[in-house]
Amino acid sequence: PGSREAVRKLKASGLKLRFCTNETQATREKFVEKLQHLGFDILVSEVTAPAPAACRILKERNLRPHLLVHDGLVPEFDRLDKGNPNCVVLGEAADNFSYQNLNEAFRVLIGLENPILISLGRGRYYKETDGLKLDVGVYMKALEYACDIQAEVVGKPSKMFFQSALVEMGVEPQEAIMIGDDIVNDVGGAQQCGMRALQVRTGKYRPCDEQHPEVTPDGYVNNLAEAVDIILKQLDK
């Protein structure tokens, strides 16, 4: 409740804003279209997401990906050479995470002299309207174990992901605050980058997060609207 108005308040305040998402089931355009349909004031240029960052890395390193991603994300990679793949890109593929598809990705990796696995996030689970669902990190760990390699994570909680959002806004880590529901990927990732972070008690938040052994948020809020009100009150002081 109050989230749409909270975003409008943030924008009206003049504060710089980025929506940092590990969404890998749709292109940024489709993701933004969905949020706009729900009434949010959001532009594609305001979204920091893993797939565009992964594409930049692939181009810079002349990598040709074998894709194990959601069908809705495939258009993000249309301009890349995917023939004779020399790496695997893994995203939240939902029903595409079949044994056959995972095994095919495994065979590509195990057949490379220097296997490269790029994962668009490393989340353990996420929440949808029908409940919690396994996230990409579970399948990333399976391929890491099978191939005895370590994946390169593009997306939250990687430091590079948060740094790219800060660069886009032109601010330093100590000038920014992250608001999120994921204790590890949102809060922990932002803090490792030098930012402060608030955890909202909505979405995938669970009460046990408040006893997490490694990550302690700079504060807890009941929802996004409350977080925004607190931040804006600080500006008025």
Q: What is the mean pLDDT of the segment spanning 112-140? A: 93
pLDDT band, very low/low/confident/very high, at 1 (cuts 50, 70, 90): confident
* CATH number for the domain harbouring residue 12: 3.40.50.1000
Q: Is residue 147 included in any domain, yes or no? A: yes
* Distance in angstroms (rounded) separating the CA atoms of residues 109 and 147: 7
* 184 and 147, same domain (yes or no): no
Whether the predicted pLDDT of 83 surpasses 80: yes
Which domain covers residue 193, as residue numbers? 1-16+172-237
In a domain, 160, yes or no: no
Please give the single-letter amino acid code of residue 196.
R
Cα 39 to Cα 7, 22, 27, 102, 194: the distances in Å are 10, 21, 19, 37, 32
- Number of domains, the chain: 2
Phi, psi for 197 (deg, rounded to 5): -150, 135
CA dist 143 and 200 (Å) reads: 32
Q: Which residue has the tokens 């909505």?
A: 202
User: 2 with 73, same domain?
Assistant: no
The pTM is what? 0.83
